[in-house]
Structure formats: C-alpha cells, structure tokens
Structure 1
Amino acid sequence: MGIVLKQSLKNTLVIYIGFIIGGINTVYLYDRFLTSQYYGLATYVFAASNLIMPLIAFGINFTVVKFFSSYTSKKEKDKFLNLVLFLPLFIAIPIGYGWNFVHDLIMTYVSKSSSKENLIVENYTIYIYVVAVCCAYFEVFYSWAKVQLQSVFGNVLKELYNRVAVMIMLFAVSFNFITKEEFLFYMALAYVLRTLLMMSYAFKLYIPKFSFGLPSNFKEVFKYSAYILLAGSAGAIVLDIDKVMIPGKDGFAMAAYYSVAVFIGSFIEAPSRAMTQILQPLTSKSINENNDKEVESLYKKSSINLLLIGGLFFILVNTNVTELFKIMPSKGYAGGEKVVLMISSAKLFLMLLGSNGAILNNSKFYKIVLPIGLGMAIGVYFLNDYFYYNLNLTTDGLALATLLVTLFFGGFKLWFVQNKLKINPFTTKTFIMIFIIFSLYLLFNFWNFSIPEIVLLDFPINPLINISLKSVIVIPLYIYLVYKLKISKQFNKLLGRVI
C-alpha cells in the first residue's frame, strides 16, 4: 500500500483543494455572478455531455488499465496504444455529423417544461458535444498515465483545473470581461486546452511508435471495450440523468438548486476518487499476476481507510449543512438537507466497497459489469420518473432513487465478489467504524451554537462561525476514537509520524 498511500494522499489533497474551490464556486459565485438560470444551463450542458462521453470513449480508458500491463513487449504495447488512440474517433465523428438530430431531440424535451426560459439552451447544445469529445480523450490519456503509475498530474487536471477555470470565468463575468452568454463558450475552450495538456503529459511518459498493426488479442480488447462502453454509459446515466430530467419539469433553476445539494453530498467521496486512480492499475496488475493475496489485501485496506476518511466528512457535511445553506445568496437552495443526507449516504456506502469496482472491471468476471450497469441505469430512471413525476416528491425523490439503486446493486457486487473470489472487504473494525460514524452524526446533528446574526459586506458570518466551532469539536473527537480503537494500521502509522 506504500505507493497507493503516497499517491492517494497527494491526490486527496488535490481533490479537496478542488472541492474547496468548487464549493466556493457552487455556494457563492455561481448564483451571485451567473444567476440560477444560467447556472442550471451550465449544469445541464455538463451533465448531458457526461451522458455522451462514455459512448465516445468506447470504454478505452478502462481498456488501457486492464490490458496494458498484460503486454510484455514494447511492440505489442505500441500496437495497443495506437489502437486506443483511434477507436473513439469511429464514434465521435458520426455523432458530430448527426448532431442536428440530437439538437432537435434536446429542444423537444426541454420545451415540455412550463418554464419558457428553457429555450435559452438552443444556442448551447453544440457545447455538449465539444465537452463530451474532450472529456472522452482526456480519460483515455489519463489512463495512459495511470498505467505508468503516474496519476497526480492527471488528477490535478481532472479535479482542480476545471474548478479553477470556472472560478476565473465567473470573475470574468462579474468584471464584464465576458458575458453570461459567453461563459459556456470559454469553458468549452478550457476543456479543449485540458485535453491537450493531458495528451502532452501522456506522450511524455510513454510515446508509442506509430504502426498500422493490431495487437495479438485485438478481438479480446474490442470485446472488453464494448462491454465497458455499455456499462460506462449506464453508469453515466445513474450519475447525471436526474440533472437532465429536471429541466423537463421544473426548468434550469431547479436543476441548479439540486446540483448544489448533490455537490455538497458528494464532497465526502474525494478520498475514494483519489485512491481509485492508483488502485485500478495496481489491482489490474495483481490480477494479471494471479496474486490473490494482494488483491484481497488491497480490497480490505482500501475499504477501511476510505470508510474512515469518508466517515469524518460525512459527519461534518451533514451536521453543518443547514448552516451552509444560510450562506447561499438565493433562498431557493435552502431545504436540500435530505438530498445531501441521501447522496452522502450513497457515497459513503460506495466507499465501504473499497476496490470492489476495480476487481470486477479487471477480473475474468468483467462481463457482470454490463448487467449491473444496465440494471442501475434502468432502476434509477424508472424510480426517478416514479418519485419525481408521479409522486411529486420533488428533488428528494431523485436523491432517494439514487440511494436505493446504489444500496441494492452495491450489495449485489459485494455478494458477487464474495461468491466468485471468496473475498470481502470487511473486518471487525468495519462495524466499529460504522458505529462511530453514525453515533457522532446523531450526537452532533441536532444542535448548533447560539450565535447572533453577523453580516459583513452583505455576507453572513455567523453560519461560518457555527460550522467552525462544531468542526473543532468533531474532528479531534473522531480522530481520538479512531486512533485509540486502532481502526486502521495505515492511519495510526501516519498519525504517529505527524505527532
């Protein structure tokens, strides 16, 4: 776990800096400088591009991780990388030629809403395609770097670059350097530049010799990519379909309100995203070498460490979320506490799974990823439709659908790995950790310090004071319990170094 811990710590730091900047953008700058309508439009464009991106990527980003370490000669590696460079084009180009049809479908859908403001999307649908293509190739080159066990630079571009770009563009809007209408144009340019930077770094790490030959296992590579393509598309539906569905009923402003609550709830998953980036190639390598003990070790260590870190942020987020909403300029964002709780619970459960996804994607049982992904996509779509449109549960219904689908299919993945590989991520420490998390959540969720209202330059200060004071109590108590109960050897060792 040495290289995992070292790069994971760097990646976690980068991701949390990115989340802090993203939090400032989300909680304060977007609504103040871009308004809820244009923020909702940006949310819709990026969510829609995320739905298309896996289709264009053709699963190549996962294929690189799975197969690269299996080649022993540079010639085969070069043939493989030449192949993965061109496969996405065979999907991206036809989609580009048929974009007028996609545009008409989008306009037909958003025009169903009673909000006439939805029609502003007409001039922005092309950015969905541009961002999707850029993100697809970014993920390909990012995987290219990860198989060289170099994930930090790509992580900076993935987690920090976009949020810094958004902040710069928002300030540009506020100072009238660009207009609100031009915001998405410049963000699309930022995505293009990010892809070029990632490509340059990937080629610096490993540049293949160009050839027209195909790797010896071409059929297997293509077959795997097709499976992961479908599974990845299904996974994108689970993540972003709710943000795309909202404008069809309640307009872009409601999509903005929901995306803020989802962002806050997703804050806890940063360690998972950081650790997964290095766990994927290591798990793949261990599986290719038939090192079952190392696979199980990575499984258990990743689970308990992610639960430990994610649990702390679960408590901090959910016990302070009411105060956090008081900072928002628009009152429309308030009332999203249930969404935050359900989304963060789903994210915490996924962190409990540890390297489960990496094991499934890189084992001989990878085909199960497709029915799981399709099941999740179908489940979340119909539950969204039932809770949001039929039962009118507002956006709480969308979050509930995500939570239920995550729990059901995550439980299935746990059972499947246990049944096929006879390993699971749990130890007695797992259940002690779960008890600590929910005990502290219940203890600190129902009270706040009685601080009078303090406003500085039209910005409320008292919620920040309340959040800070509660965090000063929660964090030391949590760390003390985890340390004394010896939940994680890696955490205790790291804390011992700091002390």
Structure 2
Amino acid sequence: MGIVLNQSLKNTIITYIGFGIGAINTIYLYPFFLGATYYALTNYILSAASIVMPLFAFGMQNSLVKFYSQCKTEQEESQFLSFTVLLPLLLSIPLFLIGLYFFDDISAYLSKKNPIVKDYLWLIPFTGLCMAYFEIFYAWARVHMHSVFGNFIKEVALRSLSLLALVGVYFKWITVIEFVYVTAGIYFLAFTVTMFYAFHLKKPEFQFSIPHNAKDIMVYTFFIILSGSVATLLLDIDKIMLNQYIKIENIAYYSVATYIALVISVPSRAMHQIVYPITAKLMHDNKYGELNDLYKKTSINLQVVGGFVMLCIFVNISQLYEMVPKEYGGGILVVFMIGLSKYFDLILGNNNAIIFNTKYYRAVLFLGVVLVFLTVGLNMIFIPIFGILGSAFATLLSITLYSLAKLMFVVKRLQLYPFSKQTLYSMALTFVLFLMFYFWQFPLSPIIAIGLKSILVTISYVYLNYKFMISIEINQVIDTVLKRLKIKL
C-alpha cells in the first residue's frame, strides 16, 4: 500500500483543497454573484457535457489503463498510445455531424420548459469533447504512476479559475452571459495543459496503425462506453430532467445540495486514481490473494474517512444552510439522501476497478443500463410531484440498487468480499455520534458554530476509531503522527 497511500494522501489533500474552493464557489459566489438562473444554466451545460463525454472519449481513458501494462515493447506502447488518442477524434466527427443535422429538433425539445438554454446548447458538445480528452491524457499520466498533477488540474485548477471568473463577474469585468462561455474555455485550457504534461511524461511518437489486440480493445471499449454513460447518467441525469419539468432555478438549488453531498465521495475519488492501475496489474497477474487484501483495505479505509466527512456535513447542515439565500433551504433533505447514496458507494472500496478489469464486466454493465431506465422513470414520476426532493429520492434509490448489484456480482463471481466486523463497528460508531451531535445546536454565528462542533466531532471520531482499531492502516498513520508529537493515548 506504499505508493497507494502516498499518492492517495496527496490526491486526498489536493481534492479537499479543490472541494474547499468549490464550496466557496457553490455556497457563496455562485448564488450571490451569478444568481440562480445563470448558476443553473452553467450547471446544466456542465452536466449535459458530462453525459456526452463518454461517447466522445470512446472509453479510451479506461482502455488505456487496462491494456497499457500489456504492452511489451516501446513500439507497442507508442502504437497503443496513438490509437487511444486518435480514435476518439475520428469517431467524434460523425457524432458532431449528427448533432448538427438534428440541432433544431434537439434544441426545441431541451428548451421547451426553459427557453434560455437554447442559445447555449452548442457549448455542450464542445465542453464534452474537452472533458473527454482531459480524461484520456489524465489516464496517460496515471499509467506512468503520475496521478497527482492531473488530479490537481481536475480538482483545484478548474475551480480556482471558476472562482476568478466569478470575481470577474462581481467586478463587472465580464457579464453573467460571458461567464458561461468562459467556463467552457476553462475546460479547454485544462485539457490542453494536461495534454502537454502527458507528452512530457512520455514523448509521443504517433503512428497511424492499429494495435495487434485492437479487437479486444474495441470490445472492452464498447462496454466501457456503456459503463461510463451509466455512471454519468446516474450522477447527472437528475439535473437534465429537472430542466424538463420545473423552472431552471431549481437546478441551482439542487446543485448546491448535491455538491455538499459529493464531498463525501472525495476520498474514493482520490484513492481511485492510483488504485485503479494497481488493481488492473494484480488481476492481470492473477494475484487474487493480494487483490482481496487490497479490496478490504480500501473498503474500511474509505469508510472511516468518508464516514467522518459525512458526519461533519450532516451534523452541521442546518448551520451551513443559514449561510446561503433562503430559497436554497429546501435542499437539506437532498443532502441527506444523496449523501447516504455516496457513503454506501464509498464503502465498496475499489469495487469498480475490480469489475472493469474482469471478463465478467459485461453483465453488470447491462444491469447498469436497466438502472438508467429505472432512474429516468423514477425521476419522471417523482419530480412533478416532489420537485428536487423527488429527484434526490430517485437518485438515492437508483445508485443504491446499482451499488448492491455490483457488490453481489464481485462476491458471487470472484469470491472477493470487502466487509468485516469492523464495517459494522464503523457504521454504529458513526450513527451514535450523529445522534449525539445533530440535535446539539450552538447559539452562535453559523461559521463559529460549525467550527466548534466540527472540532468536537473530530476529536470524538478519531479517538473512538483509534481505540476500537477500526482501520489498522489509519491507526498506523495516527501512531506515526503521535510519535512525532510525543503524545501518548
């Protein structure tokens, strides 16, 4: 776990810095500087771009990680890298032509409830293509065991540039309309910088040739497109469907709530960057004993860290919403529902990495397609009745079912199991601390109250996890820190 712990720790710190910047943007700058309408419009464009991104990437970011370790010579490496970069560009051309031909019909449908989106729809494929190539070149860096820089671009740089653009809106350097275009430009810049960094790690020697294992790559890629589309749809389809049924401002209210809940998934995002290629290597070498050990370690470590983040959010949520405009207040229950779904997905550890590197991945992907249809159906039922709460419930139910299906698949097919008695202890500990602190309100300003309660929660949570030895690896880290500080517990 040395390289995993080292780069995961760096990625976690970077990701949380990024989420901290994002929190400033989401909770304060977007609502107050941009307003609900253009905040919602920006989120709608980015969500739609995320949905089309897997089609433009053609699954090459995952194929690169899976098949790169199988290249035996420099020639094969160059051939494979060229293939992963050039094929998506070639296949994106007909997608753009189809979109252009049906643009009027598509725009009429998507702007039926909210006409404001019509003039900005062309930004969706542009941003989606930038996102796709960012992921491809980020994967290029990851297979060379350099995940930190790309993670910095993704988590910190993008949000920092958005913050600067929001400051520009405040000082009237740019208008709210120009901000929407600047956001698309930021994603283009991120892709460009990551591309040059990837080329720095491995100088490209582009070849217009097809790898010897192209058939295996294409079959795998087809299912990865399904997988990426399923995962993105489960994450972003709610915002797209909100646009079809209720006023666009509700997307802004929903986005604030979901962003707060998404903080829970940060540890998983950080660890996944480096664990994915290691999982692929272990499976390729048939080292299932080591893989099962890695599976359990990632599960309990993510549960402890993610449980702490979830606990801090849940016990402070009322005070947190005192800091945003009142019309956003209906999102508190959304935070709970989306947060619980993220927590459950978190405790599955490197489950996704295992599935996507096994020959059995196709069945689960088809199940994911079924769940997308379920998600759409549930949103169609619940959004008209309950608004953003209905969408949150549909997301909670869909993601939970999908996570359960993936867990059962790995357990039944591969006899790998992520849970232990420590899993139950961690859940019980988190629930007890939630009951202790949630109803304890401090009659102070929101920021001071959040800070004070978070300190108390941190001390209680860390101490109890340490004493009950929930995670051996985390205890070792704490022991190292305590030894340096010459403190004994």
TM-score by length of 1: 0.94
Distance 1:102 1:369 in 2: 32
- The yes-or-no answer on 1:59 pairing with 2:59 is yes
8 Å Cα contact 2:18/2:159 also seen in 1: yes
Of the three residues 296, 303, 306, the one matched with 1:307 is: 303
**Corresponding residue for residue 243 of structure 2:** 247
**2:474 alignment partner in structure 1:** 491
Note the C-alpha offset of 1:98.
3.3
Aligned mates of 1:472, 1:98 — CA distance in 2: 54
Cα deviations across residues 168-225 of structure 1 (Å, max 9, x unaligned)? 0000011111111100211211111111111111111112422222211110001100
Query: Equivalent residue for 2:390?
Result: 397
Q: CA deviation at 1:350?
A: 0.6
- What does 1:161-240 align with in structure 2 at a 5 Å threshold? 161-240=157-236
Query: Is the CA contact (8 Å cut-off) linking 1:232 and 1:373 kept in structure 2?
Result: no
Name the CA distance, whole Å, in 2 between partners of 1:205 and 1:119: 45
Superposed counterparts of 1:451-490, under 5 Å = 451=444, 462-490=445-473
Conserved 8 A contact 2:279-2:353:
yes
- CA RMSD of the aligned region, Å? 1.3
Which of 370, 376, 382 pairs up with 2:377?
A: 382
Partner of 1:363: 358
Q: Distance in 2 between matches of 1:269 and 1:495?
A: 22
Alignment of 1:6 onto 2:6: yes
Aligned-pair CA distance for 1:96: 2.3
The letter for the 2-side match of 1:466 is A
- The aligned residue for residue 146 of structure 2 is 150
Instruction: Give a deviation string over 1:332-381, Cα, whole Å, max 9, x none.
Output: 11021111011110111011100110000011212134213202211211
Percentage identity across paired residues of the two chains: 42
1:443 aligns with 2:439: no
- Name structure 1 gaps, 5 residues minimum: 452-461
User: How big is the shift at 1:52?
Assistant: 0.6
| Contact 1:7 1:278 survives alignment (8 Å) | yes
Question: What is aligned with 1:459?
Answer: none
Q: d(CA) in 2 for partners of 1:164 and 1:49? A: 20
| Preserved CA contact (<8 Å) 2:245 2:383 | no
Equivalence map 1:52-91=2 (5 Å): 52-91=52-91
Q: Which amino acid aligns with 1:359?
A: I
Deviation at 1:260, TM superposition (A): 0.5
Letter in structure 1 aligned against 2:467: K
Aligned to 1:455: none
Q: Counterpart of 2:259? A: 263
Partner of 1:24: 24
Which residue is equivalent to 1:412? 405
Matching residue of 1:336: 331
- C-alpha spacing 1:104/1:439, structure 2 compared with 1 (3 Å): farther
Deviations 1:286-307 (A, max 9, x none): 0111111111111000000000
Structure 2 counterpart of 1:416, one-letter code = F
Matches of 2:338 and 2:402, distance apart in 1: 15
Name the residue aligned to 2:112.
Answer: 112
CA–CA distance in 2 between the matches of 1:161 and 1:104? 35
User: How many angstroms does 1:106 deviate by?
Assistant: 4.3
Q: Deviations over 1:250-284 (max 9, x none)?
A: 22211000011000111111110000010100000
CA contact (8 A) 1:56 1:132 kept: yes
Q: In the TM superposition, what is the alpha-carbon distance from 1:97 to its structure 2 partner?
A: 2.5
Deviation by residue 1:83-133 (Cα, 9 ceiling, x = unmatched): 1111111332222233334543443234432xxxx3222221111111100
Separation in structure 1 between the aligned mates of residue 131 and residue 253 of structure 2, nearest angstrom = 25
Deviation at 1:65, TM superposition (A): 0.7
C-alpha separation in 2, matches of 1:172 and 1:103: 32
Does the CA contact (< 8 Å) of 2:238 and 2:395 recur in 1?
no
Gaps of at least 5 residues in structure 2 are: 483-489
* Distance in 1 (alpha carbons) for counterparts of 2:57 and 2:241: 23
Find the aligned partners of 1:187 and 1:346 in 2 and give their Cα distance.
Answer: 29
1:78, 1:208 → 2: CA distance? 7
Match of 2:119 among 123, 129, 138: 123
Q: Is the 8 A contact 2:364 2:406 kept in 1?
A: no
Q: Do 1:235 and 1:376's aligned partners in 2 also have CA atoms closer than 8 Å?
A: no
More off after superposition, 370-379 vs 39-48: 370-379
Report the Cα distance in structure 1 between the residues aligned to 2:239 and 2:101, rounded to whole angstroms.
21
Instruction: Name 1:456's counterpart in structure 2.
Output: none
